[in-house]
Amino acid sequence: MATDVEVNVEAAPNEPECNKLFRMVMKYKGSDLHLKVGLSPSMRLGGVLRQMQMPVLTKEEMERLMYPILTPRQKHILDDEGGVDFAHIIFDGDLETRFRVSLFRARGRLSLVARRVNNSIPNFEKLGLPPVMAEITQYEQGIIILAGVTGSGKSTTIASMLQYINERERMHILTLEDPIEFTFSDSKSIINQREIGIDVKDWHKALKDAVRQDPDIILVGEMRDQETFGAAMHAAETGHLVFGTIHASSAPSTISRILDLFPREMHAPLRQNLAFNLKAIVAQKLLITTKELQAQGITRVPTNEIMRTNPTVRKLILNEEDTKLGDAIRIGKEEGMQDFTESLRQLVVNERIERSTAFEVAPSVETLKMALKGINIAQPGIL
C-alpha cells in the first residue's frame, strides 16, 4: 500500500465523528474510503490505495463510528443480512457530497467501502463517451440497459444520459434507486427521485406506483431479479422509456444474463419482449489512463461496447442466435455500434490508454493487435 496521507481535517460541529474520514476523501479528491478493523483508514487516490496517518481501527471504534449513521432499518438489514448499502451525505452550506456506502461484516467485524459520488453530473464529452449516446437517449419508449461489473461507472453514465434529457426535453423523469447516487436539479424536465426504504417501502411498491405517476422516463437502479426486470419490461411495453443497470461483462452476454433471471419455460416469450422493446445495451469498463492524462487529473476512462436493436439484432434474439450478436455489432458501425475491440483501438490511437492496458482487457489480444495495424477480420455471414 502507498505512503500515508496526513490527516488535517475535522468533523463539523454536531455531525457524526466518522465525517472526519469522509471529509478527508473530499479534501484530497479521492474516489473511495476503506475502513477495516486492524488497519488505519485508507483512501483511493488516482487509483492507488493510500493509508491515512491515523492509528489502526479497533472493533469497538468501528462500531462507535458506524452505528450513529445507520437508520434503524439499515441496522436491521446489517444484522439480518450481514451487509447494507446506503447513501451518506456530507453538507457544506447548501452544497452536498454523497457517498455510496457498503457496510458489511467480515470475519465478524465491520468493514466499510464508500465511493464518493461527484456533486456535478459530467457530460458525455467529459466522461469520454461516444457521441452515439446522445442518440440513444432519444427513444420515445423501450428499455436501455447499462451493463458492467461493480465500479465500472454504469451509474455515472446513466446519470449523464438523464441529465442530457433533463437539459433538452420537457419530461417527467422518475428514478427508483437504492441508494440515490446523483441528485438532479430540475431543468426543462421534472425529476422525482425515490430511495427504496426511505421514500418508499420496497422495490415492489415503488415499481407498482411508478406507472401511476405519469412518468415519461423511469430509471430502475439495478435490475437484480425477475420481479425488477419484469416490472421494468412492463413499463417499457406500456409506452415508457426505461433505463436500468445489470451485472454483465458484454453487450451480447447481457441477453443470457437477463434470461437467467427467469425459468426456462419463460424464455421464448421473454425473447419476444426483448426483441421488440430492448433499444440498446451499453456495456462498460473503466480503465487506467496514460501517465500524461493522469498528470492532468484524468485517472479513468470508459471503454464501451454498444449494441442497438436493429432488424439484424432483433432477428438473432428471436432465433436464439446470441453467439452471432458480436458479429452484428461489428457490422453495425454506421448505426453507432461498436465492440470492445474497436473501442480499445480508438482509446489507444487517441492516446487515452496504454497499449498494455488495452491488451489486458481485450476480448482477443490478436484481434486487437491486427485492428491497431489497420487489419479488419472479415466476419462470417449472420443473416
Same-domain status, 94 and 159: no
Q: Give the Cα separation of 288 and 295 in Å (integer).
A: 12
State the chain's mean pLDDT as an integer: 92
The radius of gyration computed from the CA coordinates of the chain, to the nearest angstrom, equals 22
Q: Give the Cα separation of 119 and 230 in Å (integer).
A: 32
Same-domain status, 98 and 138: no
For residue 184, tell me if it sits in a domain. yes
For residue 229, tell me if it sits in a domain. yes
Say how many domains are in the chain.
Answer: 2
| Local confidence band at 201 (pLDDT 50, 70, 90 cut-offs) | confident
For residue 360, tell me if it sits in a domain. no
Burial class (CB in 10 A: 0-12, 13-18, 19+), 383: exposed
Same-domain status, 185 and 295: yes
Residue pLDDT, tens place only, 253-312: 999 999 999 999 999 999 999 999 999 999 999 999 999 998 898 889 999 999 999 999
Same-domain status, 238 and 278: yes
Same-domain status, 143 and 76: no
For residue 12, tell me if it sits in a domain. no
Same-domain status, 160 and 71: no
| Local confidence band at 87 (pLDDT 50, 70, 90 cut-offs) | confident
Same-domain status, 225 and 298: yes
Average pLDDT over residues 53-79: 95
Same-domain status, 86 and 62: yes
Q: Which domain holds residue 186?
A: 131-338
Same-domain status, 325 and 194: yes
CATH number for position 220: 3.40.50.300
Residue 10 CB neighbours (<10 A): 11
For residue 123, tell me if it sits in a domain. no
Establish whether the linkage from the previous residue to 179 is cis, with ω within 30° of 0: yes
Residue pLDDT, tens place only, 306-356: 999 999 999 999 999 999 999 999 999 999 999 999 999 999 999 999 999
Spacing of C-alpha 13 from chain mean position: 34
Residue 252 CB neighbours (<10 A): 25
Residue 13 grid cell? 460541529
Q: Give the Cα separation of 283 and 253 in Å (integer).
A: 10
CATH number for position 44: 3.30.450.90
Interstrand relation of 172-177 and 142-147 (parallel, antiparallel or unpaired) = unpaired
Give phi and psi for 203, each to the nearest 5. Answer: -60, -40
Q: Which amino acid is at 46?
A: G
Residue 308: half-sphere exposure toward Cβ, Cα within 13 Å? 16
Return the axis-axis angle of helices 267-277 and 251-259, rounded to nearest 10°: 140
Residue 45: what pLDDT?
Answer: 87
Q: Looking at the chain, how many residues does it have? A: 383
Kindly give, in sequence order, each residue whose CB lies less than 8 Å from that of residue 133, ignoring residues fewer than 6 positions away.
Answer: 124, 157, 160, 161, 164, 282
| Local confidence band at 93 (pLDDT 50, 70, 90 cut-offs) | confident
Residue 265 grid cell? 419455460
Residue 264 CB neighbours (<10 A): 7
Q: Give the Cα separation of 310 and 314 in Å (integer).
A: 6
Same-domain status, 145 and 253: yes
For residue 203, tell me if it sits in a domain. yes
Confidence (pTM): 0.82
For residue 378, tell me if it sits in a domain. no
Same-domain status, 111 and 140: no
For residue 6, tell me if it sits in a domain. no
If one compares 139 and 204, the residue with the highest pLDDT of the two is 139
Q: Give the Cα separation of 127 and 21 in Å (integer).
A: 27
Same-domain status, 181 and 319: yes
Q: Pick from 303, 322, 338: which residue ends a domain?
A: 338
The pLDDT > 90 percentage for the chain reads 75
